[in-house]
Amino acid sequence: MKFTIKHEAGHRIRIHLAMERMTFREADTFEYYLEGFEEISDVRVYERTADAAIVFSCGRERIIDIIRNFSFEGTEVPDRVFECSGRELASEYHDRIVTAVILHFGKRILLPFSLRMVLDTIRTAGYIRRGIRTLKNRKLQVEALDALAISSAMLTGDYDTASNVMFLLKIGDTLEEWTHKRSVDDLARRMSLNIDNVWVLTDNGEVQTDSSSVVCGDRVVVRMGNMIPFDGEVDSGEAMVNQASMTGESDAVHKGAGMSVFAGTVVQEGNLVIKVTKTEGCGRFDKIVRMIEESEKMKSSLESKAERIADGLVPYTLIAAGLTWAISRSIVKAVSVLMVDYSCAIKMTMPISVLSAIKEASEHGITVKGGKYLEAVADADMIVFDKTGTITKAQPTVAKVIAFNDETEDELLRQAACLEEHFPHSVARAVVDAAFEKGLLHDEMHTNVEYIVAHGIASEIDGEKAVIGSYHFLFEDEGVVIPEGKKELFDSLPDDYSHLYFAKNGRLCACILIEDPLRSEARDVVRGLRKLGFEHIVMMTGDSEKTAAKIAAEAGITEYYAEVLPEDKAAYVEKAKAEGHRVIMVGDGINDSPALSAADAGIAISSGAEIARQIADITIGSENLEGMIVLKEISTLLMNRIRFNYRTIAGVNTGLIALGMAGVLSPSTSAMLHNGSTIAFGLNSMTHLLR
């Protein structure tokens, strides 16, 4: 690609492609291409000028080669990149604002006063209709104040003031709409579906396939705990499907043969074979935007309270304007008062503050589904951690396979991996990865797999019943026995590891020792959370007492519970809430789902099961547990910002009303200062909370 360098300084460069301008699609393609290089830390592509600003960490020649090797035709871009692009939105609102400015000032320069008066009168009717509409709904809101102020100016012959006020209101409304929509869209992009691999059912069995190669008509297998990757129709199987991402309702819905299912929903119980009916546009961007805009979950109670108070102040603004006119007999002073209200700024800044905080959290690998949950984190005094994949590393490893029959350790590991590869859990991935590293092929060698929550997996291998899972599942539920002469070997199993048991036909075949070490940052995170206000930090696990005690001691956690079931975790959370605690639950598995739902805010680890992420209110990245510290800090600072915004907006607008009553401010100046301060508050609310 031909280009010229417009400016460069240090590790920043601005280039211009050899073209007048780019289409939205071309700009997205170029930006996607550049973002694919580790050497490039930040990039901004401007379609109007065909420019790109690039921040890089490599040598200058390397970045020149990267740009030179680019071509639009040779770059494959996933559909979701275009689907989630915000370029068209930004261009639309930019053009609307520029058009409004040109029309307003062009009208004043080119049109005679009489024609401008007619046009302004027509425009006034629109504001009056909006004001009357709110009164019909028995609500006295800011639209009524705007209508009264504009019509008062028109009736007194002050057409320029009425025109300026309508212009400023239009610009303010456009900026408010743009700011809110951009914030919602940014959040939706972070929440959009992104599934890389799926299981496709072929004549030769199940084959793991890149999701981009799936076409309509393919049959995709989705098992318990996994997300449905495409819109489709159930070909076979039955399941309970959690559709919270589509409807906001947490109750699972039964799905069977012939019924429709949708991308982004999660199989909560059972298994499905889905015939794909739609592959494009399954990022669900529009659906997520609609869900965010309509969901009351976006509002914290503090935000809602501030908005209710702001609405309650509208009548007092009207009373102040009436008193001003009664005392001074000056319609100008009265209109100056009507130009100011509390509701407009508060209703703009509060949602933007929340959305901006959610966006900032997403930049740290944290996905939050609403301001309500940030408030819960800010107020929480108790946090409950699951152990595996949460307090311990997100990627446990297989330390050793101990055989209890005549088969080799590698053969037993191969069979275990064949069962585990279908299920989204960190321990299951450890087994599959261990087999892969040893080059052990494990083609489908079993019948239908059944997953038993918090226990394990049951299936058949070569006609033999095979089970793999916890001690409780195999020895207490399934009645598995230890082979003769192997009792001493069983008793000598080391306690430093988590144990995964594998049995066939009721006899123990192997114990897979899972190394599940503490995260290196866990102790510092626990200490940091205590400093940030968590009085109770609890760890719960299904592992043995010895393993739990060891991990808790290393993490600095004094309260822990071992050998607990999913219902035990949920019961503990409910009990703590009943005692007056605000509780946060952190987990990564299907078995954590009940407790995640029960908590004031459920937090899932991103590498965990899809059902956990779906049910959870917040998802943090699996790379580093320090995201918990960042989340707590952002939540606390957000609540502080909301309180600050409310106090400052009340103070500024009270001052403007007082100056209007005194006649210091004209209606145009009052409207300009009010709208200007509202926009300033909105822009400030978009800034990062963490400095």
pLDDT for 551-593, tens place per residue? 899 999 999 998 887 788 889 999 999 999 999 999 876 677 7
Note the pLDDT of residue 200.
86
Note the pLDDT of residue 616.
80
Let me know whether 148 and 278 are in one domain: no
CB atoms within 10 A of CB 349: 31
Note the pLDDT of residue 636.
94
Note the pLDDT of residue 141.
67
Long-range contacts of 596-604 (CB under 8 A, 24+ apart): 597/250, 597/570, 598/570, 598/573, 598/574, 599/384, 599/573, 600/376, 600/379, 600/380, 601/373, 601/376, 601/377, 601/380, 603/628, 603/631
* pLDDT at 504 > cutoff 90: yes
Residue 380 φ/ψ, nearest 5 degrees: -65, 145
Task: With respect to residue 12, please indicate whether it lies within any of the assigned structural domains.
Answer: yes
**Residues facing residue 15 across a β-bridge:** 5, 52
Residue 295's pLDDT band (boundaries 50, 70, 90)? very low
The CATH number of the domain where 245 resides is what? 2.70.150.10
Q: What is the mean pLDDT of residues 44-71?
A: 91
545 vs 340 pLDDT, higher one: 545
* pLDDT at 450 > cutoff 50: yes
Let me know whether 543 and 569 are in one domain: yes
* pLDDT at 657 > cutoff 90: no
Give the C-alpha separation, 201 to 207, whole Å.
Answer: 6
What SS3 state is found at 578?
helix
In terms of Cβ atoms closer than 10 Å to its own Cβ (0-12, 13-18, 19+), residue 10 is exposed
CB 659 within 8 A of CB 395: no
Sign of CA dihedral 251, 255, 260, 261: positive
CB 633 within 8 A of CB 532: yes
Nearest C-alpha neighbor of 616 from the set 583, 574, 588 = 588
Q: What is the mean pLDDT of residues 228-236?
A: 87
CB 220 within 8 A of CB 232: yes
Answer with the one of 46, 77, 108 that is the final residue of a domain: 77
Q: Could you tell me which residues come within 8 angstroms of residue 629 by beta carbon, excluding any fewer than 6 positions away?
A: 525, 528, 529, 532
Sign of CA dihedral 453, 455, 456, 459: negative
Note the pLDDT of residue 377.
94
User: Residue 590 carries which DSSP code?
Assistant: G
Task: With respect to residue 288, please indicate whether it lies within any of the assigned structural domains.
Answer: no
Let me know whether 413 and 502 are in one domain: yes
Task: With respect to residue 386, please indicate whether it lies within any of the assigned structural domains.
Answer: yes
Taking all residues of the chain, what is their mean pLDDT, rounded to a whole number?
Answer: 82
Note the pLDDT of residue 325.
83
CB 373 within 8 A of CB 617: yes
List the single range of 259-268, 339-348, 571-580, 589-598 with lowest mean pLDDT.
339-348
Q: What is the mean pLDDT of residues 16-31?
A: 91
Note the pLDDT of residue 537.
95
* pLDDT at 281 > cutoff 60: no
If one counts the domains in the chain, the total is 5
Task: With respect to residue 256, please indicate whether it lies within any of the assigned structural domains.
Answer: yes
Give the amino acid at 654: T
User: Residue 481 carries which DSSP code?
Assistant: B
Question: In this predicted model, what pLDDT tens digit does every residue of 186-213 receive, in sequence order?
Answer: 555 555 555 667 888 887 777 778 777 7
Give the global pTM.
0.68
The CATH number of the domain where 613 resides is what? 3.40.50.1000
- Beta-strand relationship, 450-452 and 397-403: unpaired
Note the pLDDT of residue 302.
65
Give the C-alpha separation, 595 to 585, whole Å.
Answer: 7
Note the pLDDT of residue 12.
92
What SS3 state is found at 39?
coil
204 vs 646 pLDDT, higher one: 646
Question: In this predicted model, what pLDDT tens digit does every residue of 110-128 receive, in sequence order?
Answer: 888 888 888 888 888 888 8
Let me know whether 180 and 164 are in one domain: yes
Give the C-alpha separation, 281 to 80, whole Å.
Answer: 7
Q: Could you tell me which residues come within 8 angstroms of residue 396 by beta carbon, excluding any fewer than 6 positions away?
A: 388, 389, 426, 427, 430, 498, 514, 515, 516, 517
- Most confident residue range from 153-157, 293-297, 544-548: 544-548
Task: With respect to residue 86, please indicate whether it lies within any of the assigned structural domains.
Answer: no
Note the pLDDT of residue 187.
56
Let me know whether 184 and 324 are in one domain: yes
The CATH number of the domain where 471 resides is what? 3.40.1110.10
Let me know whether 595 and 670 are in one domain: no
CB atoms within 10 A of CB 494: 11
Task: With respect to residue 82, please indicate whether it lies within any of the assigned structural domains.
Answer: no
Task: With respect to residue 567, please indicate whether it lies within any of the assigned structural domains.
Answer: yes
Long-range contacts of 87-93 (CB under 8 A, 24+ apart): 87/24, 87/27, 87/28, 87/47, 88/24, 89/178, 89/181, 89/182, 89/185, 90/178, 90/182, 91/24, 91/47, 91/48, 93/174, 93/177, 93/178, 93/181
Note the pLDDT of residue 514.
87
Let me know whether 274 and 211 are in one domain: yes
Note the pLDDT of residue 180.
62
Domain span at residue 605 reads: 366-393+518-620
3-state SS track over 649-687: HHHHHHHHHHHHHCCCCCHHHHHHHHHHHHHHHHHHHCC
Note the pLDDT of residue 283.
47
Residue 443's pLDDT band (boundaries 50, 70, 90)? low
CB atoms within 10 A of CB 604: 30
Note the pLDDT of residue 223.
80
Let me know whether 401 and 501 are in one domain: yes
- Residue 539, both tokens: 């760890």
Let me know whether 181 and 315 are in one domain: yes
Question: In this predicted model, what pLDDT tens digit does every residue of 415-441 receive, in sequence order?
Answer: 898 888 777 677 888 898 899 888 887
Q: What is the mean pLDDT of residues 317-328?
A: 82
Task: With respect to residue 627, please indicate whether it lies within any of the assigned structural domains.
Answer: no
Let me know whether 410 and 510 are in one domain: yes
Give the amino acid at 606: S
Note the pLDDT of residue 296.
44
Let me know whether 264 and 344 are in one domain: no
Neighbouring C-alpha atoms within 13 Å toward the C-beta of 305: 8
What SS3 state is found at 41?
strand
b/e per residue 526-544 (b: at least 16 CB within 10 A): bebbeebebeebbbbbbbb
Let me know whether 610 and 533 are in one domain: yes
Answer with the one of 515, 535, 566 that is the final residue of a domain: 515
Answer with the one of 231, 254, 283 that is the final residue of a domain: 283
539 vs 241 pLDDT, higher one: 539
The CATH number of the domain where 33 resides is what? 3.30.70.100
CB 339 within 8 A of CB 660: yes
Question: In this predicted model, what pLDDT tens digit does every residue of 356-411 receive, in sequence order?
Answer: 888 788 778 888 877 888 999 999 999 999 887 788 876 788 999 999 998 999 99
DSSP of 358-398: HHHHHHTTEEES-HHHHHHHHH--EEEEEIIIIIB-SS-EE
CB 617 within 8 A of CB 672: no
Task: Compute, in degrees rounded to 10, the torsion defined by CA atoms 241, 246, 251, 252.
Answer: -10
Sign of CA dihedral 669, 673, 674, 676: positive
DSSP of 425-439: -HHHHHHHHHHHHTT
Give the C-alpha separation, 230 to 682, whole Å.
Answer: 38
Query: Which strands make up the sheet holding 51-56, listed edge to edge?
Result: 3-9, 12-17, 51-56, 40-46
User: Residue 106 carries which DSSP code?
Assistant: H
Q: What is the mean pLDDT of residues 464-488?
A: 89
